[in-house]
Amino acid sequence: MKVTDTSDLWWKSAIVYCLDVETFMDWNNDGTGDFTGLAHRIDYLNELGVTCLWLMPFYPTPDRDDGYDITDFYSVDPRLGHLGDLVETIRLAKDRGMRVIADLVINHTSDQHPWFISARSSRNSPYRDYYVWRDEPPATQGEPVFPDQETSNWELDPKTGQYYQHVFYKHQPDLNVTNPVVRDEIAKVIGFWLELGLSGFRVDAVPFLLETTGVVGGKDAFPDPHDYLRALRAFLGRRSGDGMLLGEVNLPRAEQALYFGGAEGDELTMQFDFISMQKMYLSLARADAAPLIDALQSRPIGSPDSQWANFVRNHDELTLDKLTDSERAEVFAAFGPEERMQVFGRGLVRRLPPMLDGDPRRVRMVYSLLFSLPGTPVLFYGEEIGMGENLEEKGRLAVRTPMQWNDGKNGGFSLAPKSKLCAGVVEGGFGPAHVNVRSQRRDHDSLLGFIQTLIRHYRDAPEFGWGAFKVLEQPDPAVLAHMLSLEDGRVVAVHNFSSEPTEVRFSVPAPRGATHLDDLFTGEPLPLTKTGRADVPLDGYGYRWLRVENGPDPHRY
C-alpha cells in the first residue's frame, strides 16, 4: 500500500499520552512526583508506544487550581525539579522518538503573579492593562465556570476600587489579550518553550482566551479575535516548522469549524472532540450506536491538515454539557448515580473501568473504539492499566491520583508517608493491590498488553489517522461499522455496544479485485462476495478491525 508522507503532519497519527508530573512518579520520596521520576519512566512510555507526551502544567504556582494558577510562565515548580530536569526529560523522550507538548495556560494568571501584584497596586501600574478592569461589572455576564465555587465572573479589588474579570476562580484574573503588549508576552512564552524542545502546546480554554466582551472597548480594539489565533498559529509555524496547537474547544460544531480556521486550517491544528465523547457515553448507556454515529457524521469538513483528538476521559470532569437534560440523566443513572460521582450538575468524576463495573469486555471494546475512530487517540495516564478514581478527593481531583506502578506502598509512586502524598491513592478493587503496571507487564492478557496491541495495529494502519471516514449501513442498532480509506488502503472497524452477540452484514466499497477481510488481531480471513458484502460475527461487546485485502501483501508482517 502506498503511504502518504506524514513527516510534517506528525500529529495526524500520533499516540498522545497526558500526565501530571506531580502524580506520575516521585523519585526523591517527598510525596510529590518530579521530573527525575518521569525521566526514569520514559522507557515505560516508549514501550507502551507513546509518540507524543503531553505535560500538564509544571510551572511555579500557589497550587490552588492544581497548577493552572501560574506565577511564572518561564520556569518549573521547584517541587517538581528545575529547568535542567525538564530539558533532560525532553531529551530522553526525543531520543526515543517521542515529541513533548505542554499546557499553554494564557487566558489567566495566578493572583500571585508579579504582573497582577503590580496591576492591583495602583491604577497607574504599567501592568494595569495586562488584566481586565471595570468600575462596575456588566449588567449581564456568563455563568461562572465553577458554579459551586463562584457566584460572579468579577471581583472587587478594594485597593483600587475596580472589579477585575475572572472567568474561572477569583484567584485567577483574566489576561487582557486585546492589549498588544500582552500578546507579545504570550508569543515570548511560546518561543521560550519551543527553544527548550517542545513540539507544541495543548491550549487551555481557547474560547475564553478569545472572549473580549468583558473588555471596555474590546470589540473595537480586537474586532476579530480569530485573527489572533491565526497569528499564534503562524508564529508557531515560523518558529518550529511543524509545531502543533491542540485546543480545548467545547463548543457546538459550527463554532468548532471556526477554531480550525475553516477550509484554510490556519488556526488550531487539533481539537478535542467533546461532542463525540459525550455521545459515546450516551451510546454506551443505551446500548445503541446511533448517538455516536450522529456525532461523528456532524463533524465539520475543513482542511485535510486539521485533526480531531479522540478521548475517553481527560484530567477534568467528564463533561456532559452538550447532552440534553434527559440524555445527561440517562448517563448519570448508568455510570454515576451517586451525588458524589457528579460535579457542577454537568459531569462525572469517574474513570471508565469503575463506570463499566470492571467488565473487561466492555472496557476493551471502548478502547478499541477510541483507537479506531477517525483522528488521533489521547490517553490519560493510568488508562492503559485500568485505574479507577478516588471519590474521597474533591471534584476533578478524584481522577488525578498517583500512578499505580506496583502493589507496594502507595502503589510504588512514592515511599513518603501517606500524609505527605500530593493526592490520595485509589483504594478498593481498582487500587494498586489489583491494578498496577508491574503485574500487568507480566501478563500478556492484561489491559496493558491489550492497549499495546491496539497501538501497534493503529501505527501499522495510517488509515485511522489519515483516512476518509464512512459509516457502513447494517441492520443492528447496537453496532457501529465504519470504514477509513486512504489511497488504495481500506480498514473497517466494527463495534458492538450490546451484551448480546450478533452477526453484522454490510457491504464494503472496495477496490476491484478485493477478495476478503483480514482480521488485524487474529489473522482470520473473512470472505467478501463479488459485490463486497461481508457477514461478520461479533460477541457481546465485541470488536473487530478488518483490512480489505486483494490477496497476500508482501509488504505486511
427 and 473 assigned to the same domain: no
In a domain, 359, yes or no: yes
- Using an 8 Å Cβ cutoff, are 75 and 60 in contact? yes
Cell of 173: 484574573
- For 118-180, the three-class secondary structure string (H helix, E strand, C coil) is HHCCCCCCCCHHHECEECCCCCCCCCCCCCCCCCCCEEEECCCCEEEECCCCCCCCEECCCCH
Residue 317 backbone dihedrals phi, psi, to 5 degrees: -65, 150
Does some domain include residue 247?
yes
Assess whether 229 and 378 both reside in one domain. Answer: yes
Q: Specify if 325 maps to a domain.
A: yes
For the question of whether the overall pTM of this predicted structure is more than 0.85, the answer is yes
The CATH number assigned to the domain holding 260 equals: 3.20.20.80
Whether 67 is covered by a domain: the verdict is yes
- Choosing from 458, 475, 509, the residue where a domain stops is 458
CATH of the domain at 159: 3.90.400.10
Residue 499 and residue 526 in one domain: yes
List CB contacts of 73: < 8 A, sequence separation 6 or more.
59, 189, 192
What pLDDT is recorded for position 122? 98
User: What pLDDT score does 455 carry?
Assistant: 98
Kindly state whether residues 201 and 144 are assigned to the same domain.
no
Query: What CATH number did the domain enclosing 531 receive?
Result: 2.60.40.1180
**298 conformational bin, left if phi > 0, alpha if psi -120 to 50, beta if neither:** alpha
Domain final position from 426, 458, 490: 458
Determine whether 248 is an active site residue.
yes
pLDDT of res. 143: 83
Same domain flag for 338 and 454: yes
Find residue 245's DSSP bridge partners: 201
Do 137 and 275 sit in the same domain of this protein? no
Task: Judge whether 449 lies within some domain.
Answer: yes
If asked whether residues 440 and 524 sit together in one domain, one would say no
- For the chain, the domain total comes to 3
135 and 95, same structural domain? Answer: no
One domain, residues 380 and 260: yes
Question: Residue 75: is it exposed, middle or buried by C-beta count within 10 angstroms (0-12/13-18/19+)?
Answer: middle
Pairing of strands 318-319, 270-272: unpaired
**In a domain? residue 170:** no
554 assigned to some structural domain:
no
**557 part of a folded domain:** no
Q: What is the pLDDT of residue 216?
A: 54
Identify the pLDDT of residue 223: 75
Q: pLDDT of the chain along its 557 residues, tens only? A: 444 445 589 999 999 999 999 999 999 999 999 999 999 999 999 999 999 999 999 999 999 999 999 999 999 999 999 999 999 999 999 999 999 999 999 999 999 999 999 999 999 999 999 999 999 998 888 888 888 889 999 999 999 999 999 999 999 999 999 999 999 999 999 999 999 999 999 999 999 998 865 555 555 667 788 999 999 999 999 999 999 999 999 999 999 999 999 999 999 999 999 999 999 999 999 999 999 999 999 999 999 999 999 999 999 999 999 999 999 999 999 999 999 999 999 999 999 999 999 999 999 999 999 999 999 999 999 999 999 999 999 999 999 999 999 999 999 999 999 999 999 999 999 999 999 999 999 999 999 999 999 999 999 999 999 999 999 999 999 999 999 999 989 999 999 999 999 999 999 986 777 889 999 999 999 999 988 999 999 999 999 999 999 766 656 66
Number of alpha carbons in the 13 Å side-chain half-sphere of residue 369:
26
Verify that 38 and 135 share a domain, yes or no. Answer: no
Domain termination residue (choose one: 440, 458, 476): 458
Of residues 248, 266, 463, 549, which has the active-site annotation? 248
Asked if 518 is an active-site residue, the reply is no
How many Cα atoms occupy the beta-carbon half-sphere of 352 within 13 Å?
Answer: 29
Q: What is the pLDDT of residue 2?
A: 43
Same domain? For 267 and 393 the reply is yes
Q: 271: which strand partners? A: 247, 308
Output the pLDDT for position 519: 97
What's the rounded Cα separation, in Å, for the pair 67 and 86? 16
Which of 174, 204, 384, 389 is labelled catalytic?
A: 204
Residue 3 pLDDT:
44
Do 62 and 203 lie in a common domain?
A: yes
The predicted structure's pLDDT at residue 248: 97
Where in the sequence is the domain holding 97, given as residue range(s)? 7-106+180-458
